Amino acid sequence: MRHMQLQRFAGERTERATPRRREDARKEGRVARSPELTSAIALAALLIALRVVGPMVWGQWENIFQLDFSTPPPNVWTTNTVAQLLVMQMMSALKALAPIVGTGLIIGVAVAVMQVRPMFTMRQLVPDFSRIVPTTGLQRLFSSSSLFELGKSLAKLAIVGVLSYSSVSRMAAEIRGYGDTDVTSVPGVVGSLVFQLGIRMTIAMVLLAALDFMYQRYAFEKSLRMTKQEVKDEWKDAEGNPQIKSTIRKRARQMAMRRMMQAVPKADVVVTNPTHFAIALRYDGTTMTAPEVVAKGADSLAQRMKIIAAESGVPMVENKPLAQSLYRMVDIGEQVPAELYQAVAEVLAYVYRMRAGRRR
């Protein structure tokens, strides 16, 4: 019985998705995104743009109307005359609406890209014949995501209906109060009320879109979950992948290089060739039986070590034979061999005398 329970538990998707699983899903075009969030923020951008450049757009429309009514009609109406008039009107309208529409379009595209990051895939264009299977379609119809989408649509419909009814009722009451005022003030009042309705709807849509975005992230993470066996199989596959091994070796070399460079400021002396080799030595008589090589490098790496040593105040001693011997015979972390004791001791003694002279 216990064995059967363990087998059942091992088949459950309880593990978080690995980076490889996420990358594969991204290549297939599967990402967490909320179209509702894109639409809501684009609508908010439209309202802001309308508020900022609305008076300018209205002024352009007034100029268009004045031009239409002040320009005498042509003596003869032809197809070309009507086409030119329509093109002129369309261009004027597009020019007036371009700031508002452009703002909404740019913000909408930016929000969509921010959700999924820049990506391009052709996987979504490949036909999926499993979608036309009746049983699969029924499963999708009654799935949790479909029910959530239905609830979201009903919520949007209810929000729009309630806000529209309350705003229209308020609008009708305020318009009735302007019965004795000038007719020219009514469009401004109506426009202000409509704009307030747009703000209320936008706030509601943004809140609903935020909930939708959180649900989409949750559903996406849940769909990527893996079983314990899948994680183990992926790890075994990754261990045998030459590219993965190469990446691991490269990172190990980088980490070793960083550790070596961090050890240079702690060295007692850097022995140089002077241009081709640099070897950093450290000696502590209380814990070491012989000096230890904490860093070494050739050519460009040696130059970097010399720069770090100069910045850290580590003495540098030029000794070509000793530098060549240390670079060839001793690895990083190893102690100096006995045959080099005398040469290294002379270098360290010189450094100690130099430090003592500086202190005096």
Higher pLDDT, 326 or 112: 326
Radius of gyration of the chain measured on its C-alpha atoms: 37
CA distance 47 to 195: 8
Is residue 102's pLDDT more than 50?
Answer: yes
Higher pLDDT, 328 or 242: 328
Is residue 225's pLDDT more than 80?
Answer: yes
Q: How many CB atoms sit inside 10 A of residue 353's CB?
A: 10
Between the CA atoms of 291, 295, 300 and 305, what dihedral angle is there, to the nearest 10 degrees?
Answer: -80
pLDDT given at position 4: 47
CA distance 264 to 282: 9
pLDDT in tens, 174-200: 666 655 555 556 666 666 777 788 888
pLDDT in tens, 26-38: 777 778 788 888 8
pLDDT given at position 207: 87
pLDDT given at position 185: 61
Is residue 344's pLDDT more than 80?
Answer: yes
Q: Do strands 269-272 and 277-282 pair parallel, antiparallel, or not at all (unpaired)?
A: antiparallel
pLDDT given at position 9: 47
Residues 6+ apart with CB under 8 A from 249: none
CA distance 169 to 166: 5
Higher pLDDT, 302 or 121: 302
Degrees, nearest 5: CA angle 140-207-41: 90
pLDDT in tens, 60-76: 766 766 666 666 666 66
Global pTM reads: 0.49
pLDDT in tens, 262-279: 888 989 899 998 778 999
With a pLDDT cut of 70, the percent of the chain lying above it is 76
pLDDT given at position 133: 54
Element (H, E) at 279: strand 277-282
Q: What are the tokens at 65?
A: 């109307």
What domains are defined for the chain? 30-69+83-118+134-225 (no CATH), 263-359 (3.40.1690.10)
Q: What is the mean pLDDT of residues 1-28?
A: 68
Nearest in space to 332 (alpha carbons), one of 307, 309, 304, 298: 298
Cis preceding linkage at 99, omega within 30? no
Confidence of residue 6 (pLDDT cuts 50, 70, 90): very low
What rounded mean pLDDT belongs to the chain?
78
Nearest in space to 269 (alpha carbons), one of 288, 289, 294, 287: 294
Q: What is the mean pLDDT of residues 347-357?
A: 85
pLDDT given at position 142: 60
